[in-house]
Structure 1
Amino acid sequence: MACNPFVCWACPPQETVTFIESCGKFSKVAYPGCNCIIPCCGQAAAGTLSLRVQQLDVRCESKTKDNVFVNVVVSVQYQVQKENLWDAQYKLTDSRQQISSYIFDVVRATVPKMNLDDVFLEKEQIASDIKEQLTKSMSEYGYLIIHALVNDIEPAHRVKEAMNEINAARRMRIAAIEKAEAEKVAIVKAAEAEAEAKFLQGQGIARQRGALVAGLRESVKDFTSNQADVSSKDVLELMLVTQYFDMLKDVGTSNRASTIFLPHSPAGMTDAASQIRNAFLQGSVGSEKIHAA
């Protein structure tokens, strides 16, 4: 503002207004540009207001329903209404302090009704309540509330660590359950495979023995039909003894053979033939039962 003893000039910058008073009473609003003020008539500049969008950041501490103290950081964007410049200048002494008071009131009335997790989830609802309350309260003072944002919710450091530990423990428990389920499936499938393999192996052994018995039966039948003086028992014992010696040969030529002790007297041979014959007969009966099933 430039002046001389008779005339002064008020030149508010762009998007700023200056209030001119005459003898302490509001006279006019000086808009951006060159405005004449006559000091000798008692005129003087009483203050300025910015018409730009302004932002106020407020940090408010409050307690949640589950007794956790948190700091809620709220940012409010507001602007002076051009049609209510007089109200904005003369009705409030400190507009920023007034807005802060309303923010504190809304936060401390809303957050104590929520648990800590709900405060994070209902952040937009808290911001909406703040904007609604400020719009109702500040409109009569010539201020327009553009946005109200909850930028941050900060619980105590120890509470943050506890929340992270709870989340980590929950995820580890889920991972342990999934790992146990995978191991269970693997064990069950391995047991089923082993049972199926043993079943098929048993079927194979039974069929093998049945085939051997059938072959021996045919061999005995062919031999006795040509030799009338030889009984089928003698033929069977001869064939079993032959297979017994073949078995000894295979054991002796095997690379993994170990020392075994067998009775090798004539009486022992008779007993071995009897045992082999009984084993084949039992195998034949088992094979017939399997085929019948």
Structure 2
Amino acid sequence: MATGIVIVQQYQRMVVQRFGTYIGNKSPGIHLLIPFLYQGTKVDLRERVTRVPTQKYITVDNVVVDMDFVIYYRVMEDQVDRAVLEVQNFEQAVINLAFATLRAVIGAIELATALSERERIRDEVQLRMDEVTSRWGVKVSQVEINEVDPAQGVKAAMERQKSAEGIKTAEITESEGQRQAQINRAEGEKQSAILQAEGLRQADILQAQGEQQATVLRADGFSAALERIYNVARTVDARTMSLQYFDTLKSLGSSPSTKFIFPMEFTSMLSPFLGMGNNNQGGDNNSNASGNSDGNDNNRQ
């Protein structure tokens, strides 16, 4: 720079001032600057990676946590003059801004949110920083939170809370399982009772239908038997009926009973046989009479 010959690398741009007045930017290559008349400032356009040291932050529920994070940023090529003219040291400005932004974001959320929603915190920090660094021609491309470490006492309390929640969840799950098992058993018993009742109902219906059919068949058989008896009885005469009575009397006579009761119609039923006996006796008398008459005739002769 003292000799007036300046080499600008490919990843650099040079902001040129003349007598302290900005006159433009120089692209990569060899440039000649007259000493004391021109002043050039090189700016690296490559992306910078800066790890922000661990700091203590306080959440909205007054819990102190230790956090460290990494930011990725670079100077925009078309705004390289702002990185020289708008801020004294843009690198230090970006780091200090990262501290302040993260402190503001953490101070508005609870510890549980800070532990579980790192991506949300990262995105919010990046958005807030980018709004400020755009004045300096700097673009914050990414923010990554490495660790959120609460105090030891808070850790122990969180572990106890987690253990209690685990026990609570296990008990709820167990009770829910028992409840579901009871529901399933009750449903099974209900279905079993319904099926059993349906089976008994079907059995009763089938039995009733069987008894009905059997009764109908018996009635049909009895009706047919009566009809046959009636048809046979129409051809039976009084003598046949009398023989049936005699057969019955014979059976009664073979029993050890000492008393017999005869119906009043018994004598009327015997009348055909009595008539047959009288007829036979009349026939014999007639024959004897004819014999006697013949004898008498013979005697007369």
Q: What is the TM-score normalised by the length of structure 1?
A: 0.52
Q: Is structure 2 residue 22 aligned with structure 1 residue 26?
A: yes
Change (3 A) 1:44 1:98: closer
Correspondent of 1:140 among 135, 142, 149: 135
The alignment yields a C-alpha RMSD, in angstroms, of 3.2
Change (3 A) 1:123 1:181: closer
- The answer as to whether partners of 1:10 and 1:30 remain within 8 angstroms in 2 is no
Corresponding residue pairs, total: 180
Q: Is structure 2 residue 116 aligned with structure 1 residue 121?
A: yes
Change (3 A) 1:146 1:178: closer
1:180-259 to 2 correspondence within 5 Å?
A: none
Equivalent-residue separation in structure 1 for 2:157 and 2:45 (angstroms): 46
- The answer as to whether partners of 1:56 and 1:96 remain within 8 angstroms in 2 is no
For residue 118 of structure 2, what is the amino acid of its counterpart?
A: K
Change (3 A) 1:96 1:157: farther
Correspondent of 2:8 among 12, 27, 30: 12
For residue 139 of structure 1, what is the amino acid of its counterpart?
A: S
Correspondent of 2:101 among 96, 101, 106: 106
Change (3 A) 1:83 1:117: same
Q: CA deviation at 1:68?
A: 1.1
Change (3 A) 1:131 1:90: same
Change (3 A) 1:104 1:176: same
Q: CA deviation at 1:164?
A: 3.0
- The answer as to whether partners of 2:101 and 2:129 remain within 8 angstroms in 1 is no
Unmatched runs of 5 consecutive residues or more in structure 1: 186-293
Q: Partner of 2:60 in structure 1?
A: 65
Secondary structure at the aligned position of 1:103 is classed as: helix
Correspondent of 1:158 among 132, 153, 156: 153
Change (3 A) 1:104 1:44: closer
Correspondent of 2:83 among 64, 79, 88: 88
Equivalent-residue separation in structure 1 for 2:140 and 2:77 (angstroms): 14
- The answer as to whether partners of 2:51 and 2:71 remain within 8 angstroms in 1 is yes
Q: Is structure 2 residue 20 aligned with structure 1 residue 42?
A: no
For residue 125 of structure 2, what is the amino acid of its counterpart?
A: I
Change (3 A) 1:68 1:88: same
Residue identity over aligned pairs, in percent, reads 22
Deviation string 1:27-73 (CA, Å, 9 cap, x unpaired) is 4433322111222x61233x321101112332442212332101232
Change (3 A) 1:85 1:160: same
For residue 126 of structure 1, what is the amino acid of its counterpart?
A: I
- The answer as to whether partners of 1:60 and 1:107 remain within 8 angstroms in 2 is no
- The answer as to whether partners of 1:76 and 1:149 remain within 8 angstroms in 2 is yes
Correspondent of 2:50 among 30, 52, 56: 56
Deviation string 1:133-177 (CA, Å, 9 cap, x unpaired) is 122211122111211222221212332243234434554676689
For residue 21 of structure 2, what is the amino acid of its counterpart?
A: K
Equivalent-residue separation in structure 1 for 2:176 and 2:129 (angstroms): 55
Change (3 A) 1:177 1:131: closer
Change (3 A) 1:175 1:30: same
- The answer as to whether partners of 2:73 and 2:142 remain within 8 angstroms in 1 is yes
Q: Partner of 2:272 in structure 1?
A: none
